[in-house]
Amino acid sequence: MNATDDRDARGQLLHYLPDALEACGVSRFRVASKVEWPLTAHVISRPPVDYDDDVDTPGVYVAVDTQGGGLIHRHVQYPASDLQDI
């Protein structure tokens, strides 16, 4: 999945759970097929936004849900070696 896609290679949609966000203040972005789709989930797209009109700087990717709400997201990547014990 690249930054602007709302689907992964298997066609699963990128989404989050607004109930979890409201209750905990955070919600992980997830992917699921139509069969596994949580009823309360909102689809997310991540369009690039040009914030400075400078062609030499990349845009900032903003998560936007189906209700038009913007979400701040933080990308966390763990090295494969850290995941072996999980």
Q: What are the pLDDT digits (tens) for 34-86? A: 888 888 888 888 777 887 888 887 777 778 887 777 776 666 665 656 555 54
* Beta partners for residue 44, in sequence order: 65
CB atoms within 10 A of CB 37: 13
pLDDT score at 74: 65
Band of residue 5 on the pLDDT scale cut at 50, 70, 90: low
What pTM does this model have?
Answer: 0.60
